[in-house]
C-alpha cells in the first residue's frame, strides 16, 4: 500500500506531505488546479522520465518521495535482493528522486543510493498507473500471459511446465556435453590415458605424504647417530690405546723378575698397575662390542632415507603438475579413469543422452499442451467476463478477446503460448492491441474492466486511475465509481476524477487547489472532512454557485455510495 507521498518544489507544488490510507481515495479539483502535477511527482518516484520544467521556478532542485508498506511475501522483497539493495525495514520501501534544473536526477531506495532503473523496476510491482496516455502493466503485452494465468489459476500446471522445461534443458546440456566429449576424444584420449597411466604407476595412497614426511624426519635423526657410532668405532678400532696398554703390561712383566720374585711394597704397586692395565684392556673391548651392537641395532637399510625422499619428491611433483594436493591425487586418477571410460564409450553415451533428451522433450510437450488447453478454456471465460463489463462503462461498441498463439517455436519456462489482449474499438473494425483505443478515458475504463474481472492485482499494491471518467456521466460514471469501490476491496485505489458519481463512492476525498500568494502560484492538497466533501460534490454538480438542490444531490450521492 502507498502510505505517504512527499513533494518539494515540483512545478507549482512548493511543499506537500500526504499520508495515504487504504481503500478508495478520490482526487478532485478544478481544471488546471494541478492534479496532473501530483501524478507527475508520483511518476518521478517510479522512475519515469524527468523533464527540465519539473523544478519549481526559483528552486535549485525538485524532490519526490513515495513510501510503501509491503507484505512479507510480496515480490518487491526478492527484487530488492536481485538489485543488491538493502532489505525493506519492517516491510517499508521508500523510493526517492531528486531532479536538477537541467533534468539530471539521482535516485534512492530506502535511503541507499540507487538508479532510476531500479526505481522503475520496483515501481512496476508496487503501483500501476492507468491514465490518459498510458496504462502501465495491462498495456504491456508481455504481462498478458501472467494475467491470464492468474485468472485461470494455472499455478499447478505452470509449475509442471517449469519443471519439465528445466529437465529438458538439463537433458539437452547433457546431450551436448556427450557429443562434445566424443568430438574431442581423438586428441584428448592420448593425453588422458598417459595421465592415468602415470598416476596409476605412482599409486599415491591417502595419508602417504604425512607418513613419509614423518619417517624422513626420523631417518634424518638416525643417520646422525649412525655417523657418531661409526666415528667411535673407527677410533676404537685404530688399536693405538690397546698397543700402548699392552706394551705397558709387558714392561711391568719384566719388572717382576728384576725384583727376584720378592714381595714387598714395590711388588704390590707393580701388581696393582698390571691389574689396572688388564681392566682397561677389558673395558676397551667392552666398548668396542657395545658400539658394534649399537650400530647393528640401527636400520639395516642404509639407503632408506634416499628412497623416502625420492618418493616424496615424486608425489609432490605430480601434485604440482595437476594443480592439486598430494592427498587429492587418488581422486584425480579416478576422474581421469572415468573420463577415459566415457571417451571409450562415447557413442553409447551420446545415444543414451539423446534418448534421455527425447524423453524430456516429450514430457515438456505433454505439460505445455495441457497448460495451453487450460489457457484456451480460461481465455474464453475471461473474454465473456470482460465483455459483460464493457457496456456499463460506455464501451458497448468495443469487443474484447484474448488471442493465444501456441507453437513449439515459442517454448520456454512458461509454456509455448503467446498471449495478447486485443480490442476491436468499433463495429466492423478488426482486432488490434489495447492501445488501438484512441480515447484516454476509454483506455482507462477498459483497464478498470480488466482489473475488476481479473479480481486480483498481480502483486501490485496500489492502482492509480487518471480521469477514468473522461467523457461520461450519469449511470456510466456511477458504474465506474461502483467498480472502483469494488476494486478497492482488493487493492488500494487512487482516482483523479471530475465526476461526482465517482468521487461519492470513495472512502477518502482530496481536493487539489491552486492559489496565488504574493504573485506566486502554488498548488496544494486539502483532505476533506465529511461536510467539506459534501460541498465539493455539490460544486462538482452545480459549478461555483452551490445551491441547496446541489447539496441535496451531493448528500444523496454519498448516501448511495
Could you report the per-residue pLDDT of 266-283, keeping only the tens digit for each?
777 778 888 888 888 788
Residue 503 lies in a domain: no
- CB-count exposure of residue 120 (10 Å: 0-12, 13-18, 19+): middle
pLDDT above 70 as % of the chain = 89
Contact 274, 252 (CB under 8 A): yes
Average pLDDT over residues 361-381: 96
Residue 542 lies in a domain: no
Average pLDDT over residues 185-204: 84
Q: Rounded to whole angstroms, how far apart are CA atoms 98 and 407?
A: 46
Residue 506 lies in a domain: no
Q: Dihedral sign, CA of 150, 153, 159, 160?
A: negative
Q: Rounded to whole angstroms, how far apart are CA atoms 19 and 211?
A: 75
pLDDT above 90 as % of the chain = 28
Structural domain for 180, as ranges: 156-365
Confidence class for position 66, pLDDT limits 50, 70, 90: very high
Q: Which residue has the cell 698390571?
A: 274
Q: Dihedral sign, CA of 339, 343, 344, 345?
A: positive
In the chain, how many domains are there?
Answer: 1
Q: Which residue has the cell 693405538?
A: 240
pLDDT at residue 259 in the model: 54
Residue 262 lies in a domain: yes
Q: Rounded to whole angstroms, how far apart are CA atoms 196 and 185?
A: 15
- Checking if the pLDDT of 33 tops 80, the result is no
Residue 253 lies in a domain: yes
Strands 62-69 and 2-10: antiparallel
Residue 238 lies in a domain: yes
Q: Rounded to whole angstroms, how far apart are CA atoms 287 and 278?
A: 14
- Checking if the pLDDT of 457 tops 50, the result is no
Residue 537 lies in a domain: no
Lowest model confidence (mean pLDDT) among 14-28, 242-256, 484-498? 242-256
Contact 400, 393 (CB under 8 A): no
- Checking if the pLDDT of 415 tops 60, the result is yes
| Radius of gyration from C-alpha coordinates of the chain | 48
- Checking if the pLDDT of 135 tops 50, the result is no
Confidence class for position 167, pLDDT limits 50, 70, 90: very high
- Checking if the pLDDT of 419 tops 70, the result is yes
Q: Who's near 86: CB < 8 A, 6+ residues apart?
A: 80, 109, 110, 112
Residue 528 lies in a domain: no
Burial readout 43-79 (b: 16 or more C-beta within 10 A, e: otherwise): bbbbbbebeeebbbeeeebbbbbbbbbbeeebebbeb
Task: Supply the pTM of this predicted model.
Answer: 0.60
- Checking if the pLDDT of 214 tops 70, the result is yes
Q: Rounded to whole angstroms, how far apart are CA atoms 216 and 204?
A: 17
Amino acid at each position: 500500500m502507498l502510505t505517504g507521498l512527499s513533494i518539494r518544489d515540483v512545478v507549482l507544488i512548493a511543499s506537500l506531505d500526504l499520508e495515504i490510507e487504504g481503500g478508495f481515495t478520490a482526487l478532485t479539483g478544478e481544471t488546471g488546479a494541478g492534479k496532473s502535477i501530483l501524478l507527475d511527482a508520483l511518476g518521478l518516484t517510479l522512475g519515469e522520465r524527468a523533464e527540465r520544467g519539473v523544478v519549481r521556478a526559483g528552486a535549485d532542485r525538485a524532490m519526490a518521495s513515495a513510501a510503501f508498506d509491503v507484505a512479507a511475501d510480496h515480490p518487491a522483497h526478492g527484487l530488492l535482493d536481485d538489485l543488491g539493495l538493502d532489505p525493506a525495514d519492517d516491510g517499508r520501501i521508500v523510493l526517492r528522486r531528486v531532479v536538477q534544473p537541467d533534468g539530471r536526477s539521482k535516485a534512492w531506495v530506502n535511503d541507499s543510493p540507487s538508479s532510476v532503473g531500479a526505481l522503475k523496476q520496483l515501481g512496476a510491482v508496487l503501483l500501476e498507473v492507468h491514465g490518459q496516455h498510458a496504462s502501465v502493466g495491462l498495456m504491456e503485452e508481455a504481462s498478458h500471459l501472467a494475467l491470464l494465468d492468474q485468472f485461470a489459476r494455472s499455478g499447478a500446471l505452470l509449475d509442471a511446465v517449469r519443471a519439465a522445461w528445466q529437465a529438458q534443458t538439463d537433458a539437452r546440456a547433457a546431450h551436448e556435453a556427450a557429443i562434445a566429449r566424443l568430438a574431442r576424444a581423438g586428441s584428448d584420449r592420448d593425453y588422458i590415458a598417459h595421465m592415468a597411466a602415470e598416476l596409476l604407476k605412482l599409486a599415491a595412497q591417502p595419508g602417504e605424504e604425512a607418513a613419509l614426511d614423518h619417517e624422513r624426519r626420523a631417518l634424518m635423526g638416525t643417520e646422525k647417530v649412525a655417523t657418531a657410532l661409526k666415528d667411535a668405532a673407527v677410533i676404537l678400532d685404530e688399536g693405538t690405546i690397546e698397543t700402548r696398554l699392552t706394551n705397558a703390561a709387558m714392561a711391568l712383566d719384566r719388572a717382576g723378575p728384576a725384583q727376584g720374585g720378592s714381595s714387598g711394597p714395590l711388588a704390590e704397586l707393580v701388581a696393582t698397575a698390571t691389574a689396572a692395565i688388564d681392566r682397561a684392556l677389558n673395558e676397551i673391548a667392552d666398548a668396542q662390542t657395545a658400539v658394534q651392537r649399537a650400530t647393528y641395532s640401527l636400520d639395516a637399510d642404509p639407503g632408506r632415507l634416499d628412497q623416502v625422499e625420492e618418493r616424496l619428491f615424486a608425489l609432490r611433483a605430480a601434485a604440482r603438475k595437476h594443480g592439486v594436493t598430494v592427498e587429492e591425487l587418488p581422486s584425480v586418477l579416478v576422474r581421469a579413469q572415468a573420463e577415459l571410460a566415457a571417451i571409450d564409450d562415447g557413442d553409447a553415451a551420446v545415444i543414451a543422452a539423446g534418448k534421455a533428451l527425447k524423453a524430456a522433450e516429450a514430457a515438456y510437450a505433454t505439460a505445455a499442451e495441457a497448460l495451453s488447453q487450460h489457457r484456451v478454456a480460461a481465455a474464453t471465460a475471461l473474454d465473456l467476463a470482460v465483455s459483460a463489463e464493457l457496456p456499463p462503462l460506455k464501451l458497448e461498441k468495443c469487443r474484447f478477446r484474448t488471442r493465444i498463439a501456441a507453437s513449439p517455436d515459442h517454448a520456454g519456462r512458461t509454456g509455448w503460448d503467446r498471449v495478447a489482449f486485443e480490442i476491436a474499438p468499433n463495429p466492423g473494425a478488426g482486432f488490434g492491441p489495447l492501445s488501438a483505443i484512441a480515447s484516454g478515458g476509454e483506455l482507462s475504463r477498459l483497464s478498470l474492466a480488466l482489473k475488476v474481472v481479473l479480481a486480483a492485482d498481480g502483486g501490485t499494491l496500489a492502482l492509480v486511475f487518471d480521469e477514468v471518467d473522461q467523457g461520461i456521466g450519469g449511470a456510466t460514471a456511477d458504474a465506474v465509481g461502483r467498480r472502483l469501490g469494488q476494486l478497492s476491496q482488493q487493492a488500494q485505489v487512487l482516482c483523479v476524477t471530475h465526476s461526482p458519481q465517482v468521487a461519492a463512492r470513495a472512502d477518502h476525498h482530496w481536493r487539489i487547489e491552486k492559489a496565488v500568494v504574493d504573485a506566486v502560484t502554488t498548488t496544494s492538497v486539502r483532505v476533506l472532512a465529511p461536510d467539506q466533501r459534501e460541498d465539493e460534490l455539490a460544486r462538482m454538480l452545480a459549478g461555483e454557485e452551490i445551491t441547496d438542490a446541489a447539496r441535496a444531490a451531493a448528500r444523496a450521492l454519498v448516501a448511495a455510495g
